[in-house]
Amino acid sequence: MEYLPNILFAVLLIAGIGYFTRNVKKLRRNIMLGRDIDLSDNKPQRWKNMMRIALGQSKMVVRPIAGLMHIIVYLGFIIINIEVLEIIIDGLLGTHRVFAFMGGFYDFLIASFEILALLVIVAVVVFWLRRNALKLARFVKPEMKGWPKNDANWILYIELILMALFLTMNASDLQLQRMEVAHYTEAGSFPVSQWITPLFEGMSASTVVLIERSAWWLHIAGILFFLNYLYYSKHLHILLAFPNTYFGNLKPKGQFSNNDAVTKEVRLMMDPNADPFAAPAEDATPPDKFGASDVKDLKWVQLLSAYTCTECGRCTSECPANQTGKKLSPRKIMMDTRDRLEEVGRNMDKNKGTFVDDGKQLLDDYITREELWACTSCNACVEACPVSIDPLSIIMDMRQYLVMEQSAAPAELNAMMGNIENNGAPWPFNQMDRLNWASETA
């Protein structure tokens, strides 16, 4: 019986990490449903981008208030997780503060965790107020109704609870150290939780132990719960921001990729020696669909981005179409892509790993044509994204599908394209008049 807590802890840990691993595999499978794209180039630049943008938070601070608050929570998350390592070892071995042998440095560590925990609580409260009291425009857009709004608040509540449990755990531990209760050897410095400790004065040692153990167990259980919550939440960005910034676009933002399948067709058309009546070879693979109408037509990196999006809405608040009341919201493009991808994933889970046509697709069932045609391709959303997501590339791929597979461009654009085709300009002017300006005197 003596080892019961250790065994219980090991079971909890394995279950928590096991379930998370299962979901990570699912996540990977879903992302790999996308079309292939080779992003193995330029590794030094990619590492640099990841260090600067994800680790260094360089794009977060473009908006100073949100950026500063975010850095606090981010640092809190990373640094306080050193403490989790100690908690895991204590849990498995039944030790008390196993890192205490570090002495003064241990005191420094615990003290900085405590200060960060307090700062995280402050930041989380500010974040909650921004969403629920100030109701900043980007947090109350139509796509934020329901789960996205609740998800955002749940994350804040969980973080608040975790920090409160952490401080309660330390405060009761300190009280037990002062009471010189066996097992609770003196260790750590508690600049924040020492102010909570007086609450426990006068309580019996067993009561304080009960409080300390409860806080300790709930804290680690809470962390494991949070880890597993990630897959179902926009909060996945804390992990995926790293690969997403690594695989982010390195080319000038204005450079849209040329569709190789089209290049092949064009080359054939321009080749005077090509046989226009040649039948395709028997074993020829049918050509890829032009553009994208569903998630599987997108590149895997676009699907990775959909899972990375944390719905902050900086893209949408910079979008000229959205600012002027159009339906387009780049954030919704990413959210829809993820929702559809999850739907496809669930479909595969249900059908032994193969996708069974459900009569739905990303286009029309999630993203409307009106949204797609409202885009000015100005790259404001791409510039705004703190984790290198490119919503514009999805919009362009879907436009390509609409035009090349469905001939479903708005009539005015068809007229424009007809002009280009016939006379080499988007307007109905004769190409032979192209130099007339030089002889006009006006």
Partner 1 sequence: MNVPTMASLFAEGKEPEVLFWVGCAGSFDDRAKKITKAFVKLLEKAGVSFAVLGTEESCSGDPAKRAGNEFLFQMQAVTNIEVMNGYGIKKVVTACPHCFNTLKNEYPGLGGNYEVMHHTQFLKQLLEEGRLTLQGGTFRGKRITFHDPCYLGRANNVYEAPRELIRKLDAELVEMKNCKQRGLCCGAGGAQMFKEAEKGDKEVNIERTEQALETQPEIIAAACPFCNTMMTDGVKNKEKEGAIAVMDIAELMSKAEDL
Give residues in contact with partner 1 (CB under 8 A). 62, 251-256, 258-259, 262-263, 265-267, 269-270, 290-291, 318, 320-321, 323-328, 370, 373-380, 382-384, 396, 399-404, 409-410, 412-413, 415-417, 420-421, 424-427, 429, 431-440
Q: 146 or 254, CB closer to partner 1?
A: 254
Contact 331, 139 (CB under 8 A): no
Q: 214 or 379, CB closer to partner 1?
A: 379
CB atoms within 10 A of CB 88: 16
Q: 28 or 253, CB closer to partner 1?
A: 253
Contact 120, 76 (CB under 8 A): yes
Q: 121 or 392, CB closer to partner 1?
A: 392
CB atoms within 10 A of CB 411: 7
Please give the C-alpha separations between residue 364 and each of 143, 196, 398, 434, in angstroms, as whole numbers: 16, 55, 11, 41
- Alpha carbon distance 310, 357 (integer Å): 29
Q: Residue 402 CB, nearest distance to partner 1 (Å)?
A: 6
Q: Residue 423 CB, nearest distance to partner 1 (Å)?
A: 9
Q: Which of 153, 152, 141 has the alpha carbon at shortest distance from 310?
A: 152
Q: Residue 287 CB, nearest distance to partner 1 (Å)?
A: 12
Q: Which two tokens stand for residue 343?
A: 């739907």
Q: 94 or 320, CB closer to partner 1?
A: 320
Beta bridge partners of 367: 363
Q: Which two tokens stand for residue 112?
A: 């900085």
- Alpha carbon distance 252, 49 (integer Å): 14
Q: 120 or 392, CB closer to partner 1?
A: 392
Q: What is the 3-state secondary structure (H, E, C) of 130-161?
A: HHHCCCCHHHCCHHHCCHHHHHHHHHHHHHHH
Q: Residue 74 CB, nearest distance to partner 1 (Å)?
A: 23
**What is the DSSP secondary structure assignment for residue 54, as one 8-state letter?**
I
Q: Residue 435 CB, nearest distance to partner 1 (Å)?
A: 4
Q: 255 or 354, CB closer to partner 1?
A: 255
Q: Residue 43 CB, nearest distance to partner 1 (Å)?
A: 22
Sign of CA dihedral 151, 371, 258, 278: positive
Q: Residue 132 CB, nearest distance to partner 1 (Å)?
A: 26
- DSSP secondary structure letters along 27-88: HHHHHTTSBP----S-HHHHHHHIIIIIIS-TTGGGSHHHHHHHHHHHHHHHHHHHHHHHHH
Q: Residue 223 CB, nearest distance to partner 1 (Å)?
A: 37
- Alpha carbon distance 403, 259 (integer Å): 14
Task: Compute and round to an integer the Cα radius of gyration of the chain.
Answer: 28
Q: 204 or 439, CB closer to partner 1?
A: 439
Q: Residue 289 CB, nearest distance to partner 1 (Å)?
A: 12
What does the CA dihedral 249, 252, 253, 254 come to, rounded to 10 degrees?
-140
Q: 166 or 290, CB closer to partner 1?
A: 290
